[in-house]
Every structure is written in structure tokens, then in C-alpha cells.
Structure 1
């Protein structure tokens, strides 16, 4: 359970706590999808979720947020720091008062929490969803100095912090993070209900135009450099020459998607590599796969790996992904990325030939862990109540 330092202020339980999430464009990505799963389940009589969005950018979840009683507040793009700060200050003044500000971007959370502190928001939560330590090594001196300054600002302005894994905590809060009672781990969970009523492998392969006897590897993730589609397609190209049954399903969207679509066409592999785009039926798509391959350069946790295990898939995962992502017994194998082409090729072949994982057992195992979204919702409601002082008010009553 969390280590919680209760705030001094208290309020009655009649009005919902008003929480502003800083997440920007609400597309179907890991953090945003997790937030939507929380919003769908949280007690709307006790908690009001508002979301800071970016002016001129429409998110795939925007309408559903409104339908669920949430609110959207558009702000200038954070690339223009001055305009962003002025816009956020105006939102906090005109759309508040907010009881909680919950910031999800990496270092940019520092600016949001600073404005929250200036606006008098008593509970200011920073949430580290990723481990960006390796990415920072490639940044310029100026960029690294900026990141260092933002981390110090976060430490000064956050009243509480969550991280998706130990690696994500070290990345944002430092290696001695567990000595500060403000910082705590909360593994982000997934919605397990869709995994209980998926379509069959045969039906999904037919809908995707994949032969029933094909060897299908798959991946779920946005087309950004950290997801390492470069390495994934390199492996596929290497194996596709000798395994004519090999197919690849790529689920997601992003700025690099067109680059890889063009590359696949150039290699005349477009009938064997399926780009699905953003989909709402990921559990069904996972059923079409034989194995799940996840070679990320860095991750806070890797929720897609949790989903793949819930679907009963054997998973080959880069050793850059936190060990906490391994949940189902015997499902996950971690492999290095450096000079390891043949090791990955060998492992993929072995997974195709190996024993299947019992899907019902896998789903049951994931259900009993903190990676169940219902567990997250219960913990978050308790956290918001306690930090705001409302839990104290209820206990006193």
C-alpha cells in the first residue's frame, strides 16, 4: 500500500473532488488508454476528471471523455513554454478551483506542477510512466541541463509521486527515490474484460487476410523511435527469406509509421506485414498472433507486454524493459539488443515450435495481480481521498 502523507486541508464528501490530468492529446497510447480505463470505472459521484489538451489537436478519446462526464481544457502547445504557462494559468483560474493536479508527461510535469502550486492547488501528483535514462544520454548538454532543472522543479513542487515501475521511479525521482515518502510505485493495470470474450484465432486471421497456417509474430505500440520498429522489421526481413509462412502484425500509429510502410512496400512484403493502425480491439488482434515481440529501447513498464500475457502469448522482450512486466509463469523471455540478431532469431523460431500457454490460466494469473485495472481504480480513489483530507473527514464522521 502507498505511503501517504495527508494534506492539512479537508472538505466535505458532498461535492466530487475535481482532478485535472495533464496528459495532452488523448490518443490511444499506453498512458492515455490507462487513464481512460480509470475514467470508465471511477465513481463519478466522488471524482470529477478534467483533462488538459492541446489547442488544435483532437484526440481519439475526446468524445468519450465528454460522454463520461469529463471535461477538456485546450491549452497552447507546450513547445512554446511561455504560451503554455500563460494558457495553463488561465485555465486554472477560470476552470478551477481544482483539488488535485495529476501530471503525466515526463519532465514537462515540472512546469504544470509549478503553475498548480502558484494557483493554490493543494494536492500535486507527478506520475512517471517511463524510464528515459538511456534516451537522455543522447541529448545535447543544453537539453540535459533542462531535464535536470525540471527534475529539481518537480521535487520542489510535487506533494506526491507515482511511478509505473522501479526503473520509472529511478528515472524521474533518482536512485534513492524510496527514501522519500512522497514517491511510490503503482503498476498501471489493464482492462481484462475484453480478454474474456475474444474472437477466435481463425476468425481474426481471416479478417486480416492471413493464412491459417501462417507463423505470426506481432507487436503493439506507437511508431516512435523508442519502440524500436527498426530492429523488429530487421528481424522480420532476415527471417522472411527462409520462412515463407512468416507474417507480422503491427498495431499502432505514429510519426514513423509511413517510413516503415514505404520500406515494406519496397521489399515487396506488404502482403505479409499488416499495419492495422490504432484499433480498439487489441485483445482480438492478439489472438491472431503466435508470439509477441517487444524490442523497446526503453519503457516505464510495457503495458503491451502485460496485455500479450493476458492473451496467453509467449513474449520475447528486450532486457531494457523492467522485469516487473513478467507476470505469467514461463511466458516472458528477456533478450539483449546489442549484437544479438541471431539470439532473437533463434528464440523466435523456438517460440513458434514450443508449447502453447494456457490462455485461461494466463488470464487468471494476470487478474490476481496489481496489473488489473480494477486494482488501480481502488487504489487511486483511496489515494485521492486521503491526500485531499476527505478520507479523514469521512472517518471523523
Structure 2
């Protein structure tokens, strides 16, 4: 949004609708929202979800520093808050941490799960390892693929599914072909039935190189799946290493493979991780918990801006 005429139209809309508070998300909306909120004299909640776009250039860092002074800035993890403080120069007292939340899903019917397994031609009796996330470099899919041969040596009846689309699709498929994994790795593209995909899984993996607070991990935990994730961003604030899943270093295919083998060969431990993770997600990362937290923040902002 570089057209500042949008900001003027937005101001007129706020006046017409008698808006008392603005809630914006990510860099462009947060900056322009802060500008309009300052003109209108109403509070702004500015939520930041990730580490991209705003810290590489001085002008953007200055813009976000100004936003942090004009608005109530929200980071979706403690890790992200610290990143903003260190790289933007924002005052930590001006940043509130509110975790993302996901809805508690209705479990799919077994007939739907069985039909999906048949559609994807997953061998009967195979354990299923899955990733949900767009095929972008930051998601680190290549490091999971690199570790698959080591997993198959010890757990040969394992299939891997990748749900998502993106710029690395051809490159990742080429990597799979070079490693001779075509029969064991399935690229599903964009799916609308993620709850059914998750129900298929024995283990959920997220090998990301960077995260704010992963909705994919939360959805997997809500679905009652053990999680292996990289120790980046807000992941350690969701996944308790050794209690609800495993955390591994980013770009470490061998450790990722070793932990996958651990869960695939230890059903009891995997089930314990899954049950604890589900309780943790329902207790601390539900959609209702997030909504209540934002409602409280809105009330606080409005009380301080009579």
C-alpha cells in the first residue's frame, strides 16, 4: 500500500462508521494505520507476525519505531518481541505478546480419512509423516527430504506427504527424484482438507528456518499429533522439547531424521507427546483464548484514550 489516497479514503470511512479503534496487521497496514489513527485521534493495535520486510532497511526500521510509539504493538511470540526490540529499537514496554490461536477442530469421519488415504495412494500399513506449509525456502523442506533416506533405513514402511504449493515445487521434486524417493514422497499441492490430511499423520514435521508463531504447528497439536519442529522463532514457545514433541536445530537433517525414527519406533512416546500437545494447544493456544486476550487489550486501549 504505497497509495496514500487510500489512507484518506480510510479516514473518511472511519468517520462515517464512527470507529473507535483500528487493528492492523503487518508492515504496510501498521504504518498507514498508525498515520490514520494519529490523525483521527483513535487507538491502533498493530500486530506483527514475522521477521521479514521491516528490519533490513533503515527507513522501515524508523517507520516501525514510530509505529511502536503511536500504537500498541503486538508480537505473536516472545522471540518476535525481542527481535523487534533489538533490530528496530522499539521500547519493550510498548510491545505486548499475544499468541495466535486456532479453533478446536471437529475430527473428520474415519470414512473421509480412509478415502483420502486411498486418493493419495498411500500404502496400507505405512506410517505417515507430513508437512503442511507453502513450498518456500524459509520452510526448509529440503532438509527433511535430505534426511528421508536415513529414516527409511530404519523405518522402511514410511511415506512422506507435503501439503502446500510454492516456488520450490520443481526443485524439491527434483531432489526427491535424485534421491530415489519418488514412491515414498508425495506432493499434494494446495489442499482444502487439512484436518483430514492431519488425521492421516503419525508425525507432523515443520523444518522451518524462521517462524513467528506457527499456525501449522498449532493445528497439528490441536489434531493430536506429535510434532518435530526446528528450534527457531516462536516454536520453542509452543513445542516443549521432550514433553509435547522434539525441537531440532535448523538445517540439521541428521538430527531431524534421528528424532523421526525415535517417534516412529516408539508408539507409546509418540502417543504421550500427542496427548500432552493437544492439552497444551487447547489450554493456551485456542482461538477463544486469543479472542479474549485481544478483547482485553482493546478495552485497555479504549480506556486510555477517552
The TM-score, its normalising length taken from structure 2, stands at: 0.82
**Deviation, structure 1 residue 96:** 2.7
Q: Which runs of 5+ in 2 are unaligned?
A: none
Report the counterpart of residue 14 of structure 1 in structure 2. none
Q: CA 1:172–1:186 in structure 2 vs 1: closer, same or farther (change >3 Å)?
A: same
State whether structure 2 residue 166 is matched by structure 1 residue 254. yes
Give aligned pairs, total: 297
Match of 2:98 among 186, 190, 201: 186
SS of residue matched to 2:57: helix
Q: CA 1:99–1:327 in structure 2 vs 1: closer, same or farther (change >3 Å)?
A: farther
Match of 2:120 among 205, 208, 211: 208
Q: Structure 2: how far apart are the matches of 1:207 and 1:121?
A: 55
Q: CA 1:341–1:265 in structure 2 vs 1: closer, same or farther (change >3 Å)?
A: closer
The two structures, once aligned, show a CA RMSD in angstroms of: 3.3
Contact 2:144 2:257 in 1 (8 A): no
**Deviation, structure 1 residue 92:** 0.9
Contact 1:204 1:287 in 2 (8 A): no
Report the counterpart of residue 366 of structure 1 in structure 2. 281
Contact 2:100 2:215 in 1 (8 A): yes
Report the counterpart of residue 388 of structure 1 in structure 2. 302
Q: Which runs of 5+ in 1 are unaligned?
A: 1-77, 137-142, 393-397
Report the counterpart of residue 64 of structure 2 in structure 1. 151
Report the counterpart of residue 13 of structure 2 in structure 1. 95
Q: Structure 2: how far apart are the matches of 1:93 and 1:132?
A: 28
Contact 1:109 1:154 in 2 (8 A): no
**Deviation, structure 1 residue 353:** 0.4
Report the counterpart of residue 108 of structure 1 in structure 2. 28
SS of residue matched to 1:250: strand
More helix by share: 2
Q: Structure 2: how far apart are the matches of 1:267 and 1:344?
A: 17
SS of residue matched to 1:379: helix
**Deviation, structure 1 residue 310:** 2.0
Q: CA 1:129–1:203 in structure 2 vs 1: closer, same or farther (change >3 Å)?
A: same
Q: Structure 2: how far apart are the matches of 1:226 and 1:282?
A: 21
Q: Structure 1: how far apart are the matches of 2:304 and 2:70?
A: 22
The TM-score, its normalising length taken from structure 1, stands at: 0.65
SS of residue matched to 1:366: helix
Q: CA 1:231–1:341 in structure 2 vs 1: closer, same or farther (change >3 Å)?
A: closer
Report the counterpart of residue 247 of structure 2 in structure 1. 334
Q: Structure 2: how far apart are the matches of 1:92 and 1:208?
A: 46
